[in-house]
Amino acid sequence: MQIFTWDVAYAVGDAEIDEQHRRLFDLANELLRADTKSAVTAAAIQLYQYVRVHFKHEEDLMRRIGFPGYRQHVEMHARLLDELNALSTDIADGQWRTEDLRSFMNDWLLVHIAEQDVRIAAFVGNSTERAGAH
């Protein structure tokens, strides 16, 4: 069962980030489908590792293109990692709730990407247009 479905509306204009976002949707679905502590733990570890790779790439891109909201975006990433760490602790303690995982993934995947990462897309688009005007 797919809970989170990638949509082209989430594209930010960087092929690698867009592919990473698609993979994050897949990992979120795997986490929410997991039904044992060991499966949830394995899915959470895989998600956490991939998130770190993704955030680094996204932050490198923002720095490279001079994205004006870089510092705030990095702070959002830090908060998301803090939340993911808290959920990981709950999982390790056997105290996770599927609804908490679903809520976190919804806020992150759908809200963060749709409201924050699309700003990167707009900036990349504006940068490309300005460069083409010369």
pLDDT score, position 127: 59
Residues in Cβ contact with 80 at an 8 Å cutoff, skipping those fewer than 6 apart: 51, 108, 112
Per-residue model confidence as pLDDT tens digits over 69-128: 999 999 999 999 999 999 889 998 988 888 888 888 888 888 888 888 888 888 877 654
pLDDT score, position 130: 45
Q: What is the mean pLDDT of the chain?
A: 86
Between CA 23 and CA 21 the distance in angstroms is: 5
Indicate the domain borders of the chain: 13-128
For 13-128, the fitting CATH number among 1.20.120.50, 3.40.190.10, 1.20.1260.10, 1.10.357.10 is: 1.20.120.50
pLDDT score, position 7: 87
pLDDT score, position 2: 64
Q: Residue 79 phi/psi, 5° resolution?
A: -65, -40
Is a pLDDT exceeding 60 seen at residue 134? Answer: no
In which band, very low, low, confident or very high, does the pLDDT at 1 lie, cut at 50, 70 and 90?
low
- Return the biggest CA–CA distance within the chain: 58
**Which strand (E) or helix (H) includes residue 21?**
helix 15-33
Cβ contact 45:30 at 8 Å:
no
How is 57-123 classified by DSSP, letter by letter? HHHHHHHHHT-TTHHHHHHHHHHHHHHHHHHHHHHHTT---HHHHHHHHIIIIIIIIIIIIHHHHHH
Closest CA to 124 of 78, 69, 77: 69
pLDDT score, position 49: 93
